[in-house]
Chain A
Amino acid sequence: MIEVGTLPTVVQALLIVVAVFLEAVVLYGGYGYLEEWFAPRISTVIENV
């Protein structure tokens, strides 16, 4: 297994940028999916309350 700390600093910095990018994409897509699934149910609950 490759130890990240042993990689050149340029590669480590690039990995950070890529990691943040992927995290943002996954979070955007994931929350979007959850919103589509949960929002109508939550709306119904609030309206009933």
Chain B
Amino acid sequence: MDPFGLSPALILLFVGFGFMVGVLFGFFGMGGSFLITPTLLILGYPASVAIGSGLAFYFGTSVIAVLKHYDIGQVNYKLGAILFVTLSIGIELGSMLVFALERVGVAELITGIAYVVLLAGIGMLFLRRAMNLSDETEDDEVGPSDEEIPAIAQKIQSYRIPPMISLASGGRASLWTMSGAGGSVGVLSGLLGVGGGFMRMPAIYYLIGTPLTVAVGTSLFAGLFSGAYGAFTYGMSGSVALPVVTMLLIGSALGARLGSAATTMVEEDEVIVYFGIMMLLASAGVGFSELANWVGFGFLDVLSVVLLVGSSFFVGSIILYSAAKAYTPSSDEPATATKQDS
């Protein structure tokens, strides 16, 4: 008899994969749901179940993140409430789109293609960041200034379309800018099953123009509630595989602790290049899975699982190995904490 309706092999896979995803995202500070949904798609779960379970997983990791940062930094509650409403509307629209695509039988294909692009895009961004880090000189420890606002973001911030909303953190922003940022991230969340923290936080910081600490806290606040709403929306249609989410959370809650602890021992630029490569391999994995559906080659399915799951195990192992190595005192150099928790 299979406990939780999952075979022992699948339980092991989900707990192990959740653990490695937790290590990665405890270290890099992201939720990791954008690796969960494509993996479930590759394992043959329907698109709506993969997305719904991804959002429920994201909600669980958000709860843990909020518990960890009990006072969640500085939260702009007015902005958080507006974002929650617009994110929820976006998620609802995204989920309606998924169910419509399922009715015409192309949901897996569309979400698969979207994931190939998304994962490749994130991989390229991290590789670029790795190259920028390697170009920096020793005395340039601060790196590229966080205060540098891209020209396009400055242009969007300059629009003063009423109604303008005053923010407690200072400054004013157009309700339309807030709604546009929240709504578009929400549609992507509902469509792809990602929490969207990697888009939401920069959107708040760059487009709405809050201080960085407020952007982080507000993003976490809005993400928690929108994650709950996403899980609820997909839960209404029975599209959340709770046993799968549970196994993933069991692994990721532990992995996130270790990944977070590793940030004090391992320099991010030592492993960031592997993370970028991992995302590109994950993108290729989803691409191979889509190709397997078209040409019917079974080995492509196996290859896609190996690429997606294997690469995250590889990079997670590198982080844990580097942390253990840094922690163990060697004969000629003391173990020291090399990086401040950000």
Contacts and interface: CB of A to CB of B under 8 A. Distances in A.
Contacts of A24: 59-61, 63-64, 67, 249, 253
Contacts of A35: 257
A27 B237 contact: no
Contacts, number: 72
Interface string B39-82: 00000000000000000100111011001100000000000000
Classify chain A: how many residues form its interface, as a range. 20 to 34
A12 B235 contact: yes
Interface in B244-266: 245-246, 249-250, 253-254, 257
Nearest to B62: A24
B60 A13 contact: no
B99 interface: no
Interface residues of B, number: 29
A27 B240 CA distance: 19
Nearest to A9: B236
A24 B68 CA distance: 11
Contacts of A16: 56, 231-232, 235, 240, 242
Contacts of B238: 9, 12
B327 interface: yes
**Chain B interface main SS type:** helix
Interface string B106-132: 000000000000000000000000000
Given A23-B249, A28-B63, 19 more contacts: A9-B238, A13-B231, A16-B232, A16-B235, A17-B56, A19-B242, A20-B60, A20-B245, A20-B249, A21-B59, A21-B63, A24-B60, A25-B63, A27-B64, A27-B249, A27-B250, A28-B67, A31-B253, A46-B324
Interface of A: 9-10, 12-14, 16-17, 19-21, 23-25, 27-28, 31, 35, 46-47, 49
